[in-house]
Amino acid sequence: MNHAVIVATGERPPETRPDGPREIVVPRQQPWADAYPFPAHWLGLPRAAGGRTWLHFVDEGPPDAPVIVFLHGNPTWSWYWRHLIVALRERYRCIALDHLGMGLSDRPQDDDSYRLAGHIDRVHVLLTALGIQRYRLVGHDWGGCIAAGVATREPARVDGIVWMNTAAFRSTFMPWSIAVCRIPGVGALAVRGLNAFAGVATLRATKKHERLRGAVRQGYLAPYGNWHDRVATHRFVLDIPRDPSHPSWGELMSIEQNLSTLKDKPIALFWGDADFCFTPAFRKRFEAEFPAAKVHAWADCGHYVAEDARERIEPLVRDLMAHVDALTGVATSPSASSATTADTSASKAA
């Protein structure tokens, strides 16, 4: 068992992990689950000690349609993309991976599983296992950096990129609320013990605070209910490279140095300029790197820009994807408007 396997739809394969038989499942009886109407798909990665580590992903839309790969950040999961998936799945094959330790994916407890290079590797493994040769990338937060890593490794396979409130280069800026979470002992207690990182994000990550209340807030927090299940939210914080001694410094530097290989790609930036983390300075850095990018920045939106600017982003993403279709000579199915209308009930809860 030395290769990755795909299990399509349904519950996680019945297998006991080395750290116990616990499973991460979508509690369908919860109010928020109605806004996440996606069957489960699983990527099984072989473990050195035997068995498999299972990564959850969403796979919606026609199997032969152009592929859009959605990559979330920290402390979110594929839930972050629910509206865009529903809006686009009539025309496009929408794939949204839950990174290792996030969302509904498995939670190995070792440190080395959660490095930037590993997250990039696993996206490539998923796409290879699915037989996908060409794709478009949509990334937010850490997912934007991972998307940049995926794209710069094999730029010829990437037809377009959307970046939302993210970075793909080294920076000396770090909000105090994130810096505190990196302090030995204190950070683990706050992030894993008190769920402060995910909890505070639901309070600070939007400007339209009413959008992160009730069932929506529950959806963001549901996968991170205890110390064990919050391992990746802490590891992501610790994996921010600040100097050359950090294990992920070289990977980030490689991404930064190879961004120029993406200059000819159709690129869009969607930015909440009220973000406390990825401030407008990060957007301007992308603009300098990609002067031809289509830039959409909103002063009334925060870090979770896909929540704050949902109604504005959906048609803009459709327009960009139609532009990519034209450039690549891809024919897609008729307008998704009817599907979007039919799926409105699945979106209203969020």
What pLDDT was estimated at residue 202?
Answer: 94
What CATH architecture applies to the domain 58-329? 3-Layer(aba) Sandwich (3.40)
Percentage of the chain exceeding pLDDT 90: 78
What pLDDT was estimated at residue 29?
Answer: 60
- The predicted model gives 252-270 an average pLDDT of 98
pLDDT band at 13 (very low <50, low <70, confident <90, very high): low
Does the pLDDT of residue 335 top 70, yes or no?
A: no
Give the residue, 319 or 13, on which the prediction is more confident.
319
Does the pLDDT of residue 342 top 90, yes or no?
A: no
pLDDT band at 20 (very low <50, low <70, confident <90, very high): very low
In the numeric block, which tokens belong to residue 114?
């959660």
Q: Name the pairing type of β-strands 67-71 and 158-166.
A: unpaired
Which secondary structure element, helix H or strand E, spans residue 60, and what is its range? strand 52-60
What pLDDT was estimated at residue 83?
Answer: 97
Mean residue pLDDT across the chain: 89
What pLDDT was estimated at residue 28?
Answer: 57
Which of 17-26, 44-53, 190-199 has the weakest average pLDDT? Answer: 17-26
5-7 β-sheet, strand order: 5-7, 41-46, 52-60, 93-97, 67-71, 135-141, 158-166, 267-272, 294-298
Give the residue, 345 or 260, on which the prediction is more confident.
260
pLDDT digits (tens, 9 = 90+) for 292-304: 999 999 999 999 9
What pLDDT was estimated at residue 331?
Answer: 72
Distances (CA, A) of 207 to 139, 163, 268, 272, 315: 20, 19, 22, 9, 21
3-state secondary structure 267-308: EEEEEECCCCCCCHHHHHHHHHHCCCCEEEEECCCCCCHHHH
